[in-house]
Structure 1
Amino acid sequence: MNPKNDRAELAADQGLGVGNVLTTLLARNTGLDAPTLTFDTEVDSIPAWQALTLRELGDRVAARAAALHDLGVAPRDPVAVFVTAAADQVLSYLALARLGAIPALVNGRLAGEQAAEYIRRLRAVGVIADAGHRSVLSGHDTGTPLLADPADLGKGDPAAAPRPYRHHGNEPVVITHSSGTTGLPKAVTHTHHSLFAAIRHRLTLPKGQGADRMLGALPSAHAATVIAVNLALVGRGQLALLSQQAGGPVLEAIESWRPQSVLGFATTWSELASEDLSARDLESVRTWWNTGDCAHEAHIRKLIAKGTRETVTANGRALVPGSFFVDGLGSTEMGHSQFFITHTSATDRYGRCIGKPHAFSDVAVLDDDGEKLPAGKVGQLGINAPTLSPGYWNDSVTTYRTRRDGYFLTGDLVFRDEDGYYYHVDRMVDALELDDGQRLYTMLCEERVLADCADVLECTVVAVRTEDRVATTVLLFLDPRADQDADRTAEVLAALEPHVARTVERVVVVDPDVIPLGATGKVRKILLRRRFLDGELLGTGAAAQQAVMA
């Protein structure tokens, strides 16, 4: 097999998509004994951390497809998958796609009431749930029966699996959901071609550094994991998938499995940067790939100081100390990150820069009337790309509210500089207009505090409007070695723009456990705003009462 020809042939195959990558590769009958996916839990007597070959992966998926077929699952049936293990999530997705059913992947961290209501609105034909999540759903009405425990699906007979379903480009293949930071997660539809569009684009490019051995520290129910799985398969690389994304377990996996790339969200980089990285062996890592929210400079700089990367020197190509960090901005609805920028220790473009758009993305910065804004003006981010979700499952109202003149309105506020680089300043729901006509961008505030205050490991800024003013609270999570009782007010205010600093009422050191998070680790600022408006103070002792400005 010529790798170059293989990539070109797969890129040109217009029948290929996220519904049939595995079955297409098996039918090509090449590389069947090459390692593909590795899971952190046992799979049908295959030990944890032992890679499944392409042949074994196809066999295990066919077994599950046969079992689901025997349970009556048919093409176009939506089936919810509510589990903990990455193996159960990914193998269930692949098996349901093989049947032509539509897996609806549910983040295992959703609370019972929230998960049940989400599943009820899907109008699914059944739920695949492990024992723990059957208990979570107990007593809640999902409107659909519990279909199977994933532990039993592997007992199916692979030879009895029906012929793989023939997918078409615009057909729904998988449903994932938004983070749920503003309420009930929204069910996002992805088609056979939409989630594959960025992968097809990558197949036309040279293989990136680190693509041969990747560690997926992503929520396994997220669209990003579906993309990562298919990218690894068509790229003939290895991908290890973690069932949890906390900093400690991710570092342990890096040291033991030694990936060349690590895929994750901003919350994982924050946790990694909070660790003493000087004591960890991260030499194998060449690239950190971020998706979802863009990452903070303070966290990026700590990560790119570790690992190695290949570069061109006077003596030819060589490995040098320090890794790449590929940043950008994406969302479940966008289907893939729409921007990219590569950081190393030799680069210095930060300030929430998300880079330039990918070649497949048409990007616009729009005002409230949908008119395009020039460089330097902050506006709503609009995206038109083949990766986009066609809409929200069973929710046409929300679908059409987020569309304007061919663009999907992401809910993000951005601007473009004269060089064509884009910068993300906030989510629309979190930014506030001040009485002097200037605006307060909470995420931009967090970026500045983290960049300027060395002892601060994580920062959350929450601004609320009362009847006569805007009141801002800055919540800090400090390095454990720092003085937890020191007054951080002056340092924080100095990091902020003057018009923002004037609104700050409290700078509070908190335990991160008191910050409400969504299923993917994003801060639920809407809940914090409600709590502050109700008069609740976070923190303990004098820090909780600290009022720095009237």
Structure 2
Amino acid sequence: MTEAPWLRNYPGGLPSHITPEYGSVLDAFDAHIAENPDRDAIAYFDGAITYRELDDRACALAAALSTRGFGPGDRLALYLQNDPAFVVGLLAAWRARAVAVPVNPMNKAREVTYLLQDSGAAAVLTLDGLYHSVLREVVGSGSTAVRQVFVASALDDQTRNDRRVLPATAAAITGPDVVLLSTVYARFAGQACASAPTDPASPAVLTYTSGTTGVPKGAINTHRGLAFAGQIYREWMGLGSDDVILGIAPLFHITGLVGHVCAALVSGCRLVLVHRFEGSVVLDAIREHRPTFTVGAITAFTNLAGAEGATKEDFASLRAVYSGGAPIAPELRERIRDRIGIVIHNIYGMTETTSPAHAVPLGVATPVDPGTGALSIGLPVFNTRARILDDDGTVLPPGKLGELAISGPQVVPGYWNKPVDTADRITGGEIRTGDVGLMDAEGWFYLVDRKSDVIIASGYKVWPREVEDVLLGHPAVREAAVVGVPDEYRGQTVRAVVSLRAGAAVTDGELIAFCRDRLAAYKCPRAVEFVGELPKNAAGKVLRRGLR
């Protein structure tokens, strides 16, 4: 056997194949508006927006965009935090048969300029603070194609039916092409808008990769791909209209975009947003809104597990919790379960697979590979094929390490205006992920590391994740990252960077000795550096490249 077995049913009773239900997320959204328009779509602090209100706002913004010739195929950049305005902008772009371009709100002028230029965005929806600190300079330079700027505030919608225009915000927004979002809602109220796009294969979102392997590239997430990915979450996690999704992943990132927004719109349930992740604020939202599902980076759950005053009862409403973005050490998962009572299930995907490609069935015990100590990322999700390949593209048998390759309805057709990069990574609908892992005889998949992160020490391959898992098994260690550094004798040597748990103490020598008791000598760190926090991207993934 060289590929995952195509079982009729996965563990837990899930079928291996389902029938795609929608051609776009808008199809599902329209169905829920028709069925129950007054159901709350978004909860934001003490405010709420119904499905009908959400659509009215999206139609108003779509109408405002059209006044400057914005239309089918144009791009609307969403330079926002986890605010209701993000969802409004996403739906407005789709109502206009245009394309949304989420932009990391931590990006500065140089990075924003690149994304606007590369995507050719004609309009931007942003927050007042980001407009003043970054966007005004970028748009004012004339180096982009932006013709319209719409500005929202993080304080908008914090109470139900909030229609305030903050004086300081209004006074500071100037320019003929800069408009407050609240003004758009008032000026274009009652505007009719288009139904779902006619072509499910057309681009819905350009989601830019993190750039960990080079210049960020705009993955073309199609309407069909987003709808199917949202349906995967609905069916795999059993989401329905009574569920409440806690939005802790950044919405500009593929996990938040699909696992929060698309999953909620496809399932017809409520989405809880809190502007951005702060442990105490998220804990308050959990206590108030009693969410039933969430997905996020393991760092978010580590933060919540350490939040002051957090109890298991606070998290009791969460019946399904998933984590993706980076492999999880088994010891860390157990530590979080013991502290706050949640059982984290693995999920794996990437921007180019429109989020989910593998997941552990809900309630099923996650196996650990005895050879590498890796916690399984799960089984291929519905309608998805996964293979382990060698460098020549030959399919490897179970137990052999190689590169993970994935094909399925959610795989993007390519990168925006980058045919060479597309041809290099995506062939015949299958993407070479760059992740190294293996499949066991039962069809479970395990990741070891990124191909680009492998350390070659004295001719031996060292996979950083294996060493990191060992370090995370030490009771004093909170976070760990391992990188290769140049060494004249060995070529590379292993260096660890760790942060410690509050009140804990340990020496570098003790950690090295701890590793030597558990790893072959060539895998052990030769040096350990202590830091307060490891560098991470907005999705919570540790940036090994920055450490190197």
CA-CA distance at 1:490 after TM superposition: 3.8
CA distance in 2, matches of 1:210, 1:353: 30
CA distance in 2, matches of 1:526, 1:455: 25
Query: 1:542: which partner in 2?
Result: none
TM-score normalised by the chain length of structure 1: 0.82
CA RMSD of aligned residues (A): 2.8
Unpaired runs of at least 5, structure 2: 1-17, 153-179
| Residue 434 in structure 1 maps to residue 466 in structure 2 | no
Q: How does 1:527-546 map to 2 (within 5 A)?
A: 527-529=546-548
* Paired AA for residue 89 in structure 2: S
Query: 2:270: which partner in 1?
Result: 238
Query: 1:145: which partner in 2?
Result: 146
CA-CA distance at 1:126 after TM superposition: 2.6
Taking structure 1 as reference, are residues 214 and 201 closer, same or farther at Cα in structure 2, changes over 3 Å only? Answer: closer
CA-CA distance at 1:471 after TM superposition: 1.6
Q: Secondary structure at the match of 1:198?
A: helix
CA distance in 2, matches of 1:373, 1:427: 18
Whether contact under 8 Å (1:484, 1:509) holds in the other structure is no
Whether contact under 8 Å (2:209, 2:219) holds in the other structure is yes
Residue from 495, 500, 512 that aligns with 1:473: 495
CA-CA distance at 1:77 after TM superposition: 0.4
Instruction: For residues 294-349 of structure 1, give each alpha carbon's deviation from its aligned partner in whole angstroms, at most 9, with x where no partner exists.
Output: 33323322333466xxxxxxxxxxxxxx4442212111111122111258797663
TM-score normalised by the chain length of structure 2: 0.82
Whether contact under 8 Å (2:297, 2:541) holds in the other structure is no
CA distance in 1, matches of 2:338, 2:241: 17
Taking structure 1 as reference, are residues 283 and 507 closer, same or farther at Cα in structure 2, changes over 3 Å only? Answer: same
- What percent identity do the matched residue pairs reach? 27
Q: Secondary structure at the match of 1:333?
A: helix
Residue from 20, 32, 37 that aligns with 1:32: 37
| Residue 356 in structure 1 maps to residue 379 in structure 2 | yes
Query: 2:226: which partner in 1?
Result: 195
Unpaired runs of at least 5, structure 1: 1-10, 40-47, 308-321, 530-550
| Residue 284 in structure 1 maps to residue 317 in structure 2 | yes
Query: 1:396: which partner in 2?
Result: 419
CA distance in 1, matches of 2:488, 2:508: 32
- Decide which moves more: 290-299 or 55-64: 290-299
| Residue 489 in structure 1 maps to residue 494 in structure 2 | no
Bigger relative contact order, structure 1 or 2, given CA contacts below 8 A and separation 6+?
Answer: 2
Query: 1:136: which partner in 2?
Result: 134
Taking structure 1 as reference, are residues 184 and 346 closer, same or farther at Cα in structure 2, changes over 3 Å only? Answer: closer
Q: How does 1:132-281 map to 2 (within 5 A)?
A: 132-134=129-131, 135-140=133-138, 142-145=143-146, 147-151=148-152, 152-154=180-182, 155-156=184-185, 157-164=188-195, 166-201=197-232, 207-208=238-239, 212-227=243-258, 228-275=260-307, 279=311, 281=314
Whether contact under 8 Å (1:127, 1:144) holds in the other structure is no
* Paired AA for residue 92 in structure 2: A
Taking structure 1 as reference, are residues 213 and 448 closer, same or farther at Cα in structure 2, changes over 3 Å only? Answer: same
CA-CA distance at 1:404 after TM superposition: 4.0
CA-CA distance at 1:14 after TM superposition: 5.6
| Residue 444 in structure 1 maps to residue 445 in structure 2 | no
Residue from 64, 86, 91 that aligns with 2:88: 91
Whether contact under 8 Å (1:36, 1:237) holds in the other structure is yes
Instruction: For residues 172-217 of structure 1, give each alpha carbon's deviation from its aligned partner in whole angstroms, at most 9, with x where no partner exists.
Output: 0111122233444321111110111133355567835997112010
Taking structure 1 as reference, are residues 420 and 163 closer, same or farther at Cα in structure 2, changes over 3 Å only? Answer: closer
Query: 1:81: which partner in 2?
Result: 78
CA distance in 2, matches of 1:203, 1:270: 26
Taking structure 1 as reference, are residues 418 and 15 closer, same or farther at Cα in structure 2, changes over 3 Å only? Answer: closer
Whether contact under 8 Å (1:365, 1:382) holds in the other structure is yes
Whether contact under 8 Å (2:324, 2:347) holds in the other structure is yes
Whether contact under 8 Å (2:389, 2:405) holds in the other structure is yes
Taking structure 1 as reference, are residues 332 and 53 closer, same or farther at Cα in structure 2, changes over 3 Å only? Answer: same
Taking structure 1 as reference, are residues 431 and 191 closer, same or farther at Cα in structure 2, changes over 3 Å only? Answer: same
Query: 2:334: which partner in 1?
Result: 301
Q: Secondary structure at the match of 1:176?
A: strand
Whether contact under 8 Å (2:231, 2:266) holds in the other structure is no
Q: Secondary structure at the match of 1:339?
A: strand
CA distance in 2, matches of 1:150, 1:465: 47
CA distance in 1, matches of 2:310, 2:190: 51
Query: 1:408: which partner in 2?
Result: 431
Q: How many residues align?
A: 490
CA-CA distance at 1:372 after TM superposition: 0.6
